[in-house]
Amino acid sequence: AQRVTQPEKLLSVFKGAPVELKCNYSYSGSPELFWYVQYSRQRLQLLLRHISRESIKGFTADLNKGETSFHLKKPFAQEEDSAMYYCALRGVGSYKLIFGSGTRLLVRP
């Protein structure tokens, strides 16, 4: 079964601390993984995708096929990073994005 699991509903850290938002997936094949973010009073939007191997707003995520994980990381959290983060998966050739349940990141001053 295709599934995306985000084990933490809430992650609270202090400003300047490292952040790791966990994402594990279940998929029989080669998936494409993404992170979406929703800031307060804004719409859900794409943050980054694994195929781009990009860093957006200081966040990076590496696809680990052995551990079936796609954790989102940032070395030094900022207050403006506080938001709801969703991990998503898409099978190759599929039109369907499968979302995890989301993790709320709270960065305290």
**Of 13, 10, 8, which is closest to residue 108 (Cα–Cα)?**
13
Q: How far is the CB of 38 from other proteins (least distance, A)?
A: 8
The interface mask with other proteins, positions 71-90, x = CB under 8 A, is ---------------x-x-x
> Is 96 a binder of other proteins (CB under 8 A)?
yes
Could you give the CA distance from residue 16 to residue 101 in angstroms, rounded to a whole number? 26
42-61: which residues touch other proteins (CB under 8 A)?
Answer: 43-46, 49
Q: How far is the CB of 107 from other proteins (least distance, A)?
A: 22
> Is 25 a binder of other proteins (CB under 8 A)?
no
Exposure string for 28-50, b = 16+ CB within 10 A, e = fewer = eeebbbbbbbbeeeeeeeebbbb
> Is 97 a binder of other proteins (CB under 8 A)?
yes
Residue 79: HSE in the Cβ half-sphere, 13 Å Cα cutoff = 2
Out of 25, 27, 34, 35, the only residue in the binding site for other proteins (CB under 8 A) is: 34
* Three-state SS at 82: coil
> Is 9 a binder of other proteins (CB under 8 A)?
yes
